[in-house]
Structure 1
Amino acid sequence: MDLVALADFNLVARHGGFGKAARASNRPKATLSRRVTELEAALELRLFERGARNLKLTEEGRALHERTAALLIEIDETASAIVSGAEKPRGRLRVSAPLLLSQTAMGKIAAGFALKYPDVKLEVTTEDRAVDMIEEGYDLVIRVNPDPDESLVGRAFLHDRLVVVASPDLPRLAGENAAPGVVRGSGDRQTWSVTTPKGPAKIKIEPVLVLSSLIMVRDAVRAGVGAARLPISLVTHDLNDGSLTHWGDIEGSDIALWALYPSRRLLSARVSAFLDFLKQAFPNGTPDELASYIGR
C-alpha cells in the first residue's frame, strides 16, 4: 500500500473534503484527489461518497480511517523522535473536557502543561457530550463516569461525590414539608436520598431556581436561595468556613473523572506527558486535592 496515498486519504477524511484538506496542508486539491483515486483503485474499494456539495466516508472508508489514522501519527512521531534524538513531546494535542472541570480547573492545568511542554500546542474544548474521538480528531477526552467503550482505554484520575448543601440561614424542613431548592435540569418537585451521621434520610425539594451550570447553582446557594446537590470539591471551602452547611451525602453519587484515549499499543509522547501531568496534579485523585487545586 502506498503510504503517501494513505496519508493523503486520512488528511481528506480528517478535514471532511478535498478543498479543506488542500487549504490546511497548502497542497493542490487536484493532487489530493488523484492520490485518493489511486488508493481506491489499488484497494478496489470506494472510500468516499462524492456528492455535488459534500464528501462522505463510505463504511469501508470509515473503517480504514479509524484503523490507520493513529498508526500514521505514530509513524510520524517516531520518525521525529529519532531525528531529534529524544522522545520529546511535540505537536498538536487536542483534548475534550467536561464543562465543570473546564470552568474550575482546566485553565490552570492547561497553563501548567504549556509551560512545561512548550513544543506541544494544546487545544482544549468543552463538551459534556460523548465526542467521537476519531471522527472529531481528539487525542484524549476527559469524561465523568463514562460508559464502557471497547475502542477506548484510560484511567480514572479524580474522584468526587455529590452532597446537599444550603445556607446556614435556610431551615431544613422535615416530614412532607419541602425545602426550596436550586436544581440543574428538571423543575419538578424532587426527593433526595442522603446519608447523614444519623443514618439515611429523605429531603423533599421544591425547585425555586432551575439553572444550567453547577457554578451558577453554587453561586445561587451561596446567596441563600435554596438547597442544592453539588460536588463536594466545589463547596469544600464554603463548608470549612461555615458559609454553607452540609445536609448529607447523596446516596450512590460517586463520581470518577476518566482520561480516555484510543486503544492502541503505543501512546504518543504528548498524550503520555498529559496523563503524567494529571497524575502529578492529583496524585491521590481525592475531592480535597481538587478543591485545593481550584482554590476559592
Structure 2
Amino acid sequence: MDFNALEDFQLVASHGGFGKASRASGRSKATLSRRVADLEEALGIRLIERGARSLELTEAGQLLRARTEGPMHEVAEAVAAARDGLATPRGRLRIAAPILFSQLALGRIAARFLLSYPEVQIEAVAEDRLVNLVDEHFDVAIRINPSKDSTLVGRCFAKDRLVLAAAPSVQMPKGNRDKPFPVPAVVTPSYRDGDVWSVRNGQFTVEPRPVLHLSSLLMVRDAIAAGAGAAMLPQSIIGSMLEKGELVSWGIAGDEVELWVLHTSRRLQSPKVRAFVEFMCKQYPGGSFTIPIR
C-alpha cells in the first residue's frame, strides 16, 4: 500500500473535500484525487462518495480513517523526530487539563518546562470535559481518576484526597451515628438529591442540605471558610487553611484521588511528549498534589 496515498486520503477526509485539502496542503486537487483513487483501486473498495457539491466517506472510508489516523500521526511524529534528533524535544505541545488544576498549577509547570526545553511551544487548554486527543489534536491530557478502559496510556504523577471540611463556627454533628446527620452544605453541579457524604471509613455520614450551589471548587472553599456550611473538597486546595485553623476537617472520604498525565500510545512517543510526562512526574516527588509546588 502507498503510504502517501493513505496520507492524502486522511488529509481529504479530515478537511471534508479535495479543494480544502488542496488549499491546506499546497498539493493540487488532481494529485489528491488520483492518489485517493489509486488507494481505492489497491483496496478494491470505494472510500469516498463524490457528489456535485459535497463529499461523503463510505462506511469503509469511515472505518479506514478511524483505524489509521492515530497510527499515522505517530508515524509522522517519528519521522520528524528521526530528522530532528530523538534527544531534542521541540515543536508545539498541546495540553488539555481540568480547570482547577490549570488555575492552581499548570502555569508554573509550563513555565518551568520551557526553561528546560526552550524549543517547545506550549498551548494549554483548561476544560473539564474529556477531549478526544486524536480528533482535537492534543498531545497530552491531565485527567483525574481516568477510566481503566481508556485507550490512552500514561502515568499517575500525584495523588489527592477529599476532605469533608467546614469553618470552626459550624458545629460538627454529634449523637446517633446510625443515620446521616443533616448539615448545611455548599455543593457543586455534581451533587444530586439524596447524596450522602461518608468519611472516616464510613463511620461518619452526613446528609447535605444545600444552601449554596457553586460551579467552582475555589468558590466552594471561600464560601465554607466564610461559614456557609460544610463541603467535600480536595485536600490540596484547603491544606493551608486547615493548618491555620481557618477550616476544620471532619474526616477524609474514601480512596485517594489520582492525577494522571495521558497520551495516545507508548509506541513512537514523540520527544516532547516523553519529556513532558517525565517532567510532570518529577514535580511531585512525594506523590501528593500540593499547592504551591516547591
TM-score range for the pair, normalised by the shorter chain length: 0.7 to 0.9
| Residues 201 and 81 of structure 1: CA distance in aligned 2, closer, same or farther (over 3 Å) | closer
What is the DSSP-based 3-state SS (H/G/I as helix, E as strand, rest coil) of the residue aligned with 2:32? helix
Counterparts of 2:138 and 2:192 in 1: how far apart (Å)?
Answer: 35
The correspondence for 1:275, drawn from 265, 277, 280, is 277
Counterparts of 1:12 and 1:285 in 2: how far apart (Å)?
Answer: 45
Counterparts of 2:50 and 2:132 in 1: how far apart (Å)?
Answer: 22
The residue that corresponds to 2:216 in the other structure is 213
What is the DSSP-based 3-state SS (H/G/I as helix, E as strand, rest coil) of the residue aligned with 2:200? strand
Per-residue CA deviations over 1:28-70 (Å, capped at 9, x if unaligned) read 4554344333322322233345577765544433443344334
Counterparts of 1:237 and 1:281 in 2: how far apart (Å)?
Answer: 19
The residue that corresponds to 2:186 in the other structure is 182
State the TM-score, normalized to the length of structure 1: 0.84
Q: How far 1:130 sits from its partner (Å)?
A: 3.0
| Residues 150 and 103 of structure 1: CA distance in aligned 2, closer, same or farther (over 3 Å) | closer
Give 5+ residue unaligned stretches, structure 1.
none
What is the DSSP-based 3-state SS (H/G/I as helix, E as strand, rest coil) of the residue aligned with 1:133? coil
Per-residue CA deviations over 1:233-290 (Å, capped at 9, x if unaligned) read 111111111111111111x242111222223532111110110110121223213xx3
Alignment of 1:91-240 (within 5 A): 91-149=91-149, 151-175=151-175, 178-185=182-189, 186=191, 188=193, 190-195=195-200, 200-240=203-243
Q: How far 1:111 sits from its partner (Å)?
A: 2.4
| Residues 177 and 67 of structure 1: CA distance in aligned 2, closer, same or farther (over 3 Å) | closer
Q: How far 1:156 sits from its partner (Å)?
A: 1.2
Per-residue CA deviations over 1:65-91 (Å, capped at 9, x if unaligned) read 344334434443444344344531123
Q: How many residues align?
A: 289
Per-residue CA deviations over 1:184-233 (Å, capped at 9, x if unaligned) read 1236364311118xx82122321101112212211222222111100001
Contact 1:189 1:207 in 2 (8 A): no
Counterparts of 1:150 and 1:189 in 2: how far apart (Å)?
Answer: 30
Per-residue CA deviations over 1:106-151 (Å, capped at 9, x if unaligned) read 2222222233323223222233333333333222222211222263
Counterparts of 2:245 and 2:51 in 1: how far apart (Å)?
Answer: 63
| Residues 23 and 171 of structure 1: CA distance in aligned 2, closer, same or farther (over 3 Å) | farther
Give 1 or 2: higher helix fraction. 1
Once the two structures are overlaid, the 10-residue window that deviates more, 138-147 or 171-180, is: 171-180
Contact 2:96 2:140 in 1 (8 A): yes
| Residues 212 and 31 of structure 1: CA distance in aligned 2, closer, same or farther (over 3 Å) | farther
Q: How far 1:19 sits from its partner (Å)?
A: 4.7
What is the DSSP-based 3-state SS (H/G/I as helix, E as strand, rest coil) of the residue aligned with 1:148? coil
State the TM-score, normalized to the length of structure 2: 0.84
What is the DSSP-based 3-state SS (H/G/I as helix, E as strand, rest coil) of the residue aligned with 1:265? coil
Q: How far 1:20 sits from its partner (Å)?
A: 4.4
What is the DSSP-based 3-state SS (H/G/I as helix, E as strand, rest coil) of the residue aligned with 1:46? coil
What is the DSSP-based 3-state SS (H/G/I as helix, E as strand, rest coil) of the residue aligned with 1:93? strand
Contact 1:49 1:56 in 2 (8 A): yes
What is the DSSP-based 3-state SS (H/G/I as helix, E as strand, rest coil) of the residue aligned with 2:134? helix
What residue identity is the alignment partner of 2:38? E
Counterparts of 1:108 and 1:272 in 2: how far apart (Å)?
Answer: 19
State the superposition RMSD in angstroms. Answer: 2.9
| Residues 85 and 155 of structure 1: CA distance in aligned 2, closer, same or farther (over 3 Å) | closer
Once the two structures are overlaid, the 10-residue window that deviates more, 267-276 or 71-80, is: 71-80
Counterparts of 2:128 and 2:49 in 1: how far apart (Å)?
Answer: 31
What is the DSSP-based 3-state SS (H/G/I as helix, E as strand, rest coil) of the residue aligned with 1:226? coil
What is the DSSP-based 3-state SS (H/G/I as helix, E as strand, rest coil) of the residue aligned with 2:229? coil
Contact 1:66 1:134 in 2 (8 A): no
